[in-house]
Amino acid sequence: MYFLYNLLALSASFVIKVLSLINPKLSLFVKGRKETFSIIKKSISIKDKVIWIHAASLGEYEQGLPVMEKLKIEYPLHKIVLTFFSPSGYEVKKNSTVADSICYLPLDTKQNVRLFLDAVHPEMAIFIKYEVWPNYLAALKTNDIPTFLVSAIFKENQIYFKWYGSFMRKALLNFTHIFVQNKKSSSLLKSIGVHNVSISGDTRFDRVSEILERDNSLDFMNHFKNDMFCLVAGSTWPEDEKLIIDYINQNTHHIKFVFAPHTIKTKHINTIIQAINKPVLCYSELDVKKPEGYDVLLIDTIGLLTKIYSYADVAYVGGGFATGLHNTLEPAIFGIPVIIGPNFDGFVEAEELVQLKGVISIKDSTEFKDKLNLCFVDATHRQKSGQINYSYIKAKEGATEKIMTVINSFFRYKI
């Protein structure tokens, strides 16, 4: 099976290079990997002690961040190498100071694995959630490097639990320890003979709880909101935007609206502006225009949404009508109701919070209007829903501490 896997990995590398000539995202994928070893060489010397953390993309990075921050505190003499698989993670975080070296992970071929591990020479490796790369894991095990899978979640339909999944099942055995989010994942792993497992919960709850401890104030939002009721719509897609814009155009209440669309290309931003028949201000115009006289603020940049949620009386999180629901926990931690579209199956926290009635699922513009109006006129209802969300998150804190206790028991013994 290793022969077939390695053949597939080499074939995938060739195909990706060809497709990168016509696909911008794959072009970033290929060009970025050409810089990996030069990035490592500039920041990591042969004398450095190194901890390697790997995340597929931005979501996994957010899950791994609480652990990364604890590692930096508890192992201050070690450098952190952070790798990404996807451009959507790397391109956003490549200039961050959260790690000493940030780069793409070379594809999982035998030669890449050897070159990468020689360059990084990690004393510990941490993979986030779904990342299972057989050649990397085999090499780490061979070199007796403690390797952990953090915030993992497993489902029956994954290859590990199929009759043809023995190769990937063996890869799981190369982890020193696996931290899973729930009991079901633990039971599934034990059913295939993987017993080095702990139920730690999801580090995302620690991550979003930390949001409350930082300064979330934004001068422009203070002036824009001006103590009025405010809906913040984050990570929206056209399907979400249509029903919200319909509401804005018909609204007679004293409500301020903030749009932070998933796509901030000029053409899309202009489409939103043209569809709204009320005064709209873009974030990029704040240098020349004052926000007080506008009903709608359009955020045509990235990196501000979490802080903007702190000003919301109600949040709408996009994706539930389109490609997949975005992060509901970031607004929920501020103790406000969160409205989403109808498609949230597989998003565990959304499923549970819809049941608890902290998150409100709507299927069309009529339901959106009714639910938002209820939140506007009934402060008690709004506060109750928000408290459900806040309490749900606070009750699930602690995954990071559980993970660090086990990691320390392995790693400190080794070093």
pLDDT at 14: 66
Residue 236 to residue 264: CA distance in whole angstroms: 10
CA-nearest of 98, 353, 307, 70 to 212 is 307
Q: List C-alpha distances in Å: 44 to 33, 36, 81, 92.
A: 17, 12, 9, 22
The pLDDT of residue 323 is above 80: no
Q: What is the DSSP string of 188-218?
A: HHHHTT---EEE---THHHHHHHHTTS----
pLDDT at 208: 93
Q: List C-alpha distances in Å: 374 to 97, 314, 333.
A: 43, 11, 21
* Whether the Cβ atoms of residue 396 and residue 353 lie closer than 8 Å to each other: no
The pLDDT of residue 345 is above 70: yes
Residues 388-399 pLDDT 10s: 999 999 999 999
Active site residue 131: no
The pLDDT of residue 32 is above 80: no
Q: Helix %, strand %, coil % for the chain, to 5?
A: 50, 15, 35
Q: Which two tokens stand for residue 66?
A: 């609480």
pTM of the model: 0.84
Domains of the chain in start order, with CATH, are 20-201+398-413 (3.40.50.11720), 211-395 (3.40.50.2000)
Residues 3-18 pLDDT 10s: 677 677 677 776 676 6
Q: Which two tokens stand for residue 338?
A: 């969160």
Specify the range with the lowest mean pLDDT, choosing from 10-14, 125-129, 293-297: 10-14
Residue 362 to residue 88: CA distance in whole angstroms: 29
* Whether the Cβ atoms of residue 21 and residue 88 lie closer than 8 Å to each other: no
Catalytic residue among 60, 62, 349, 397: 60
pLDDT at 15: 66
Q: What is the DSSP letter of 303?
A: S
